[in-house]
Structure 1
Amino acid sequence: MRQSYSLDLLATMFSLGCLTLLFLPHLLSDLQWYFIAIILLVLVLFVLVKFCWYLSIIIVFGLGFLWSVAYSKQYLTNISPYIDKTLVVKAKVVDINTRQKTTAISPYYLSFSIFSISGFTLSNNIPISVYWDNTIAPKSGQTWQLTLKTKVMHSYLNEGGFDSQRFSIANRSLLSAKLVDAKLLDDKSNLKQLIVDLALPYIDLFDYRDILLALTFGDRSQLDESHRMVMMQTGIAHLMAISGMHILVVFGLSRLLVKIVLFFIPKRFIHFFVPIVIGWLSAFFYAWLTGFNPPTLRAILALSIWIYLCYKKNQISAWQKVNRIIALLLLFDPLMILSESFWLSCYAVISLIFLFEWLPIPQEIKYKKRWYMVRLLHLQLGLTMLLLPIQCFVFQGVSGVSILTNLIAIPIISLCTFPAVLFALIFSLMDCFYIALWCWSIADKSLEWLFFSLNWFNFLWLKIPANFYLLSFVGWLTVIIIRTGSWRRFSVTLAVIFMLLITPIFKQPHYRWRLDMLDVGHGLAIVIHDGKSAILYDTGAKWEKSSAVERIIIPFLQWHNLNVQGIIISHQHNDHVGGLDMLQYVYPKAWLMSSSSSFNNDYQCLAGNHFIWNELTFSVLWPNKLVDYAQNEDSCVVQISDGRFSVLLTGDLERNQEYQLVTKYQNQLTSTILQAPHHGSNTSSSYPFLNHVKPVKLLVSTSRYNPWKLPSSKVIRKYQDLQLDSYVTAKTGQISLFFDKQTWQLKTMRGEIKPRWYHDWFGSFPIYE
């Protein structure tokens, strides 16, 4: 018992050591790493001489910490020399090709494994994601010679937004590239692609091919956006990502089929472990086919431990199993700790164990079939309550109908759709055309019924502001209170705990007003707010399938629980006005001000106009007249002042208009903060203008890989000549200014708000360093 307890405690400490990877602002230098390693070595020698349990715990924690740091540094060291370079490489295709041959293939990202660069064979293959715009669709296992212009995944970093840089590191896709030239060296596909090629002609016949691909091969890259949104907003997206449930279904079906076959075999050839081993091999094969994503790896490992324990006839608790599995996974790959799917899977399993051990189903209904719906409701209601915290942190919202939709979706997917997909795949490989087609039809029809039902219930997706996140733990607190009966004796204590959970809701902002320049890539979006209501200056760009409003601005507004009262549009170029329609759809009561007469303006942006909003004075300095289509020279220039500090917002103002402003206003232009005109282009930021504004800080909104290479080197040197302290969103992420009555301060996401090693600028530094 003591040995088992010790092993579990050591596993926990190793996992906690890896957990520090989430919070480190910078990875250790080599000197720091070796210094800690030497200390641990001394402790190991001391433990060998005189055993000390507490030192053993510290040593294992330190080993987890050093292992995770070394693993991360090794990955970054392997790819760093190849960032922002033009390379000729030889690489194998990693991703399977599931594209339809009958339709034009739009560009997409494709994973390769580089094994040779400029003729030199690498000791370790380098994973890279290539933006593939060639007419030929590569297949998994093929070897290509590629000319690539490499870059690195550089996240738009904002509060409430998706952290694509952390996601890329967790999935080894930090290094990416644009394709310059491609030459096929070896067209031989691997076994995985051959299986895909046999099944794809069937799948392409059906309307729900995107979900069939996700369930069959784990390929979610072609999920229809409408399907994705419905699944997320109804809380069933987890059923379409290959995970433990799917692995267990494969194992269970295979085991059942083998048992049926063994029924017709003489008893002397039957062994207890034959169905289990074949079931495990089937599950392992399916996990390999779907790409060994982290959830399937965890499921396979858990299944393997269960089989091992059955063989050894050794019993350990569910908590011990989960603890050891997590430690083994992090030993195998510490970067999993950065993956949201890792946290979702582990948290869901822990919640299940907690639910059934602390709030079990009464024995009288546990094994009775007629109580199936009660058991399912117990599971869904309990999981919904316990999963609230992780849902809030990962998705910034929850589905209000997830209990109902999961009651519908889980039986359909686990009992009908997924088994049909498995049998369809088997019969497709056996070339049993009609049987395979019938199985695929059943799977597709079941998905049609499912989405028909989901569309009826897709109406209650609740966005949760950050100050409500502590309250999401009320589910855990409720289960503990019911189990322990503590409400009888500790009612006052529980009331205090509940008050602590709701305290953030009533927390008052520590600033008088705040301005945030969001990191929206090449574009502009500025939020001025007081912690409750906000005015936006520009809305970022609209892209082919999304916009800065959907991905960045609205998540930021909902993170801070802000109500948009007004929108100011500087001019009508896409990178400033692209998200306006979506923003007005979400906030229909917000007034609009612009310098374009073609908009349905509530207020006109004309020089001389001004208004007061929450003790802030908004003074319009430019333009002098409205135009039908507002361009750079017609940018709406607004000076915001609280009587002591001021901010000058300029849009994409050009040099000629800067001269006119200097002539008209002279020293009235003086402002504490200046939004750099036209993203730091050579066509603006003239010396006279900068000398009259005299900003303490200068903010530039642009992206790292913008084709115009903004801000320009000439403008940056101009800022340096005038000793102006400039900040660029491409490097800093979101820039936040906090104004009080007497003071103000500036914070950036990569600097002060959320400094993390995985948010660093990887590769060569830009001119504005």
Structure 2
Amino acid sequence: MLIALMVGLVLGANFPGQILSGCGVALICVLMIVRDILRRESAAISPLLLFAAIGYLTIQPYLSPILPPNHVSRFADGKDLEITGVIADEPVQNEKRVKFILKAETLNQKEAVGKIRVTTDKKELNPELHFGDRISITGKLKRPHNFKNPGGFDYERFLAFQKIWVTAYAKKISKKDPEKGLRWHLEDPRRNISDFIKQYGEGKEETELLRASIMGDQSGISQDTYTQFQRVGVAHLIAISGLNIAVIGSVAFAFFRWFLSQFRFFLFRAWSRKVAAILSMFPVIYYGLISGMAPPALRSVVMVLVFQAAIIFEKEGDPINTLTVAAMLILAAHPPSLFSVSFQLSFSAIFAIIYGAPHFIRNQSEEKSSSENSPQDDNSNFDYIKRKLNVPMYSSLCAVLGTLPIGMLYFHQASLIGLLANIVFIPIYSYLVVVPGLASVFAYLTNIPAASYGISFCAKVLNISLSMLKACSDLSFAAITTITPSYLEIVLFYALCWALLNIRQKIDEFEKIEKIERIERIIKIAKITLIVILVAGIGDAGYWTYQRYFHKNLRITFLDVGQGNSALIELPGGQCILIDGGGLFDSSILDVGSGVIAPFLLQKKIMTVDTLVLTHAHEDHIGGLPYIAKNFNVKQVWMNGHGEETETYHNFNKIIQQKGIDAPQFSNIFGEHEINNVKLNILHPEKDFSPHKNLNVDSIVLKLEFKDISILFTGDIDKKVEKKLVDKYQDALKSTILVAPHHGSKSSSSDMFLDAVKPEYVVISLGWKNRFHFPKSEIIARYLQHKARIFRTDLNGAISVSTDGNSLEITPVTDALQPVE
């Protein structure tokens, strides 16, 4: 049933809008089930189809909503509005910005409904904001917009799953009377506890980690610290995860069971376990409330409560069914949870532990039993220690393997020391930080001195742990950047794990015939599965090997990086060239290198970039390159050597030096190069140019030629540079595709230049509704006058070009039409 529900949710997310069809399928299934009940026949297919239809329908309110006329999304027209509403979650802050969700009440003093994702600058934030505050803001409502690249993060869907369809940047904020509901009264003590931790925590980083582990607030953790946790493979420790809440539940259960066993009343009635399970629910719920009951924490609380309920109802012998019930309850309450990374990681880890660890332990026990008659002396103490270590070791191994493909899919990284690190750090963090930390929070209500001592103790433990963690993270082999697995590869990996676990099962001749036959059948299926995996794996590896290294076409992908430029060139034979790296003018919002370009490259199984080309050092061209240079195998960098003293440009050059990347002088790369029958010709600036104050003027202009097809990359050159190029190269500028100079600015794309280039296609790389209002209408008209077909990354998303040198195939992510000016 759970699998059918999940299939329905996936279908609903990928093919939304068919509500009537979904209702029809559900109705037919209900009628079929009623018929089978009346006939007293078993129903096999119809319940599965019903749950799939339910899954499809329950996701539709998020992706195909029917909104009222006064919903805020209907006013996203770019006009300044005065919006009044209540803050629906605790604001999240970084060094420059504050973000929160506003539940709207009025727009320009007229009643309105709906949620808004609000961002504001800290400099503009005079009042301190908290959950439940009623505020008034001035700003423009906008619909969220994705970077439309293959394999990219779907930001629009991410917000839609929170029922948010508009965003706003708040220019002014004023506070009004707060809405003092139940959650507001819960948030007030949370803030007091958070302030208390800040007061008695020792060291900023330790304090912020403690707040993250207990309060669920990760906003104060530096990116460097979070990266260290990721490299070591223990990033789950700094979240309110199922692990932390399970530890609280298990410690509370052990304590209450011990306490109740002191009373004969409970012992004689065999009530100690059940009552302990009931009592241990309260610390779990309390921990969830203290953490703010954010969706990940709420899911973890529900999961742990279901397992505790299984003890009460004596169903703990079937943990997989218990896990299934927990998943069903969570998906019933919030269907989009299925697409949450935390949901996927939590349930894959727990399922892997529940299913996998007993197989390892049972197989080892059987091996030990078969060697009991060995003439060697048995070291009982050693065996005892070994058995005690087996459970955490195998549990950690299963959790690491169970979450490995998901971590590669979303984070593009695998920790090579994660298994050992989890064995060491989980007990330290869980039993010496989380448990004492939560006990200190309890003590805070009655005994502040004791609570302060507990917080101080946790901070000292964290200080030592951070030193150990940093030493592990600094190991060169601690973690590796990984390619992004396809869904087929993820299925093959899990199928391989299942087959290897089951093919090792031992058959006990004294077991019942039915069980022996079942085990033999499972082993046979496992062997067949291994053969299928081998064949499919070879096919998959062959496909990607051909796509990477043996294709004969020239491929170019103009990436959607917002208001900037970035293009990937895949030469015949597999060499890769990346021209520019996009970048936002405020890199604190998003590192385009890690958030946009790297996921695209890894999805194409590219981990080596043979040449990085930086046309010029403005932020919208260089912004993503430092991350690529640092985290990919970059062999060579081409640039003109001229740039402003910005932090990004400094970091880029520093990484080049630290990694020893070849960066030849511009005079050595000027002119023509040929790689696998593809000609690359740098036309501008001059070989011995004198740097200009305006970096745009010195943009590298690069012409790419493959047989009869050519592409001209122009950076941000202006009309004066265009005239110089025409005077010098004349008809040699003619190109099949022109990458529009300066994003379609009216300072470029002169008639004289277009007459010389004679483009059949023009690609404009720019941001959606950018502040410069590019491309200018007169430039679009000029391209059309020259009979060029226009593609735009703001409308079409990423634009893929493939050519054999004779014919040309251009495929945009979306076939959006050029708007009429």
Q: How many residues align?
A: 737
Aligned twin of 2:614: 569
Aligned twin of 1:359: 360
Q: 1:69-108, CA deviations, whole angstroms, 9 ceiling, x for partnerless residues?
A: 2343228775531435433222222333687xxxx97322
Aligned twin of 1:138: 129
Letter in 2 for 1:41: L
Report matched runs for 1:103-502 at 5 Å: 106-122=96-112, 125-133=114-122, 134-159=125-150, 161-172=152-163, 175-186=166-177, 190-204=185-199, 205-207=201-203, 208-255=206-253, 274-313=275-314, 317-361=318-362, 362=364, 371-430=387-446, 432-458=447-473, 459=475, 460-466=478-484, 469=489, 472-473=493-494, 474-483=496-505, 494=530, 497-502=533-538
How many angstroms does 1:36 deviate by?
A: 4.2
Aligned twin of 1:3: none
Matches of 1:241 and 1:15 in 2, distance apart?
25
Cα distance change, pair 403–678 in 1 and its aligned pair in 2 (3 A): same
Q: Secondary structure at the match of 1:232?
A: helix
Q: 1:620-651, CA deviations, whole angstroms, 9 ceiling, x for partnerless residues?
A: 23333513246222222111011121111000
Q: Secondary structure at the match of 1:386?
A: helix
Q: Secondary structure at the match of 2:128?
A: coil
Aligned twin of 2:773: 709
Stretches of structure 1 that go unaligned for 5 or more consecutive residues are 1-8, 752-760
Matches of 1:476 and 1:489 in 2, distance apart?
10
Cα distance change, pair 118–581 in 1 and its aligned pair in 2 (3 A): closer
Report matched runs for 1:568-587 at 5 Å: 568-586=613-631
Aligned twin of 1:512: 553
Q: Secondary structure at the match of 1:590?
A: strand
Matches of 2:612 and 2:137 in 1, distance apart?
46
Stretches of structure 2 that go unaligned for 5 or more consecutive residues are 38-42, 370-382, 506-518, 644-652, 654-661
Answering whether residue 798 of structure 2 is matched by residue 734 of structure 1, we say yes
How many angstroms does 1:262 deviate by?
A: 6.1
How many angstroms does 1:121 deviate by?
A: 4.0
Matches of 1:593 and 1:309 in 2, distance apart?
63
Aligned twin of 1:81: 74
How many angstroms does 1:440 deviate by?
A: 0.9
Matches of 1:587 and 1:349 in 2, distance apart?
33
| Aligned-pair identity (%) | 22
Q: 1:347-382, CA deviations, whole angstroms, 9 ceiling, x for partnerless residues?
A: 222212220354344569999566322221112223
| 8 Å CA contact retained: 2:608, 2:633 | no
Q: Secondary structure at the match of 2:504?
A: helix
Q: Secondary structure at the match of 1:136?
A: coil
Cα distance change, pair 472–445 in 1 and its aligned pair in 2 (3 A): farther
| 8 Å CA contact retained: 2:73, 2:165 | no
Matches of 1:80 and 1:170 in 2, distance apart?
15
How many angstroms does 1:597 deviate by?
A: 5.9
Letter in 1 for 2:235: A
Structure 2 residue corresponding to 1:551, chosen from 589, 595, 600: 595
Aligned twin of 1:37: 23
Cα distance change, pair 59–266 in 1 and its aligned pair in 2 (3 A): closer
Matches of 2:33 and 2:141 in 1, distance apart?
49
Q: 1:310-352, CA deviations, whole angstroms, 9 ceiling, x for partnerless residues?
A: 4545577323223333233222222223222222222222212
Worse-matched range after superposition: 415-424 or 347-356: 347-356
Matches of 2:107 and 2:275 in 1, distance apart?
47
Q: Secondary structure at the match of 1:671?
A: coil
Aligned twin of 1:15: 6
How many angstroms does 1:307 deviate by?
A: 4.5
Worse-matched range after superposition: 48-57 or 325-334: 48-57
Structure 1 residue corresponding to 2:747, chosen from 657, 666, 683: 683
Matches of 2:444 and 2:503 in 1, distance apart?
53
Q: Which has the higher contact order (CA 8 A, sep 6+)?
A: 1
Worse-matched range after superposition: 136-145 or 34-43: 34-43
Matches of 1:380 and 1:550 in 2, distance apart?
28
Letter in 1 for 2:500: T
Structure 2 residue corresponding to 1:529, chosen from 570, 589, 599: 570
Aligned twin of 2:674: 612
How many angstroms does 1:766 deviate by?
A: 9.0
Report matched runs for 1:644-655 at 5 Å: 644-655=708-719
Answering whether residue 709 of structure 2 is matched by residue 628 of structure 1, we say no
Letter in 2 for 1:107: R
| 8 Å CA contact retained: 1:594, 1:605 | no
How many angstroms does 1:675 deviate by?
A: 0.8
Matches of 1:766 and 1:500 in 2, distance apart?
43
Q: Secondary structure at the match of 2:689?
A: coil
Matches of 2:384 and 2:296 in 1, distance apart?
31
How many angstroms does 1:234 deviate by?
A: 0.9
Report matched runs for 1:49-68 at 5 Å: 49=35, 51=37, 53-68=44-59
How many angstroms does 1:401 deviate by?
A: 0.6
| 8 Å CA contact retained: 2:714, 2:739 | yes
Matches of 2:677 and 2:83 in 1, distance apart?
60
Letter in 2 for 1:197: N
Worse-matched range after superposition: 508-517 or 208-217: 508-517
Cα distance change, pair 443–294 in 1 and its aligned pair in 2 (3 A): same
Cα distance change, pair 88–614 in 1 and its aligned pair in 2 (3 A): same
Cα distance change, pair 730–309 in 1 and its aligned pair in 2 (3 A): same
Matches of 1:310 and 1:608 in 2, distance apart?
74
How many angstroms does 1:544 deviate by?
A: 4.1
